[in-house]
Structure formats: structure tokens, C-alpha cells
Amino acid sequence: MGRVVKTHSTYIKGLIPWLSALSKYNDIQTITPAAIKKVRGKNHGLDIRISTRILGGFKAIARKGMTMQEVFIITKLDKKELEIKIRETKP
């Protein structure tokens, strides 16, 4: 079972419960939400997508409305397996 690192004072609404559910999988060690930015375009609802591979895991992008937040996921899962786990835990 992994852990969610809470390092910021603000998060996209609904993100922490989703990440907490995702951290319960044994193959996920650490999930760290990072920078929040305003983006163009509007995304209805909360969505997480895998962006790029990083050392030890993946960088993902969480989007809701016109806000995005980087999420770093340290895991031994490959991209396809992680995408499945993210879909399974979607609230």
C-alpha cells in the first residue's frame, strides 16, 4: 500500500480522495501532487491521464475545469496497468 504526499495547501477539488483510493494498490509506492496551473480549454469533471515516464514511475496530469495539476506516481506498474488502476478507482 502506497502513500499520498501532501505538500501543497491547494489541490484540485476531488483529487485527494481519488489519489488516496489509488494509493491502496500494492504496486504503487508514492503519489505526489505537484504544481497547479490554469490552462486553456475546459475539461468537464475530474480526469487523470498519464503524461510521461519518469525515473521510477510516471508523471500524470489531473484536470478539472480550466485547472491542471501535475501528479507524480512512483510505481512498478507499466503504463497500461496504471491506466487501468486509475480508471478502476475513478469516483
pTM, to two decimals: 0.91
- Which pLDDT score, from 0 to 100, does residue 9 have? 72
- Which pLDDT score, from 0 to 100, does residue 28 have? 95
User: Cβ atoms within 10 A of the Cβ of 13, count?
Assistant: 11
Domain that holds residue 28: 3-89
User: Cβ atoms within 10 A of the Cβ of 17, count?
Assistant: 13
Instruction: Phi first, then psi: give them for residue 90, nearest 5 degrees.
Output: -55, 130
Burial class (CB in 10 A: 0-12, 13-18, 19+), 33: buried
- Total tally of structural domains belonging to the chain: 1
Reading the block at residue 52, the C-alpha cell is 510521461
pLDDT digits (tens, 9 = 90+) for 32-81: 999 899 998 888 889 999 999 999 999 999 999 999 999 999 999 999 99
Q: 2-6, 7-11, 47-51: which has the minimum mean pLDDT?
A: 7-11
On whether the CB atoms of residues 15 and 73 are closer than 8 A, the answer is: no
pLDDT-based confidence at residue 3 (cuts at 50, 70, 90): confident
Look at the block and give the residue holding cell 504526499.
Answer: 5
Distant-in-sequence, close-in-space partners of 89: CB < 8 Å, separation ≥ 6:
18, 21, 22
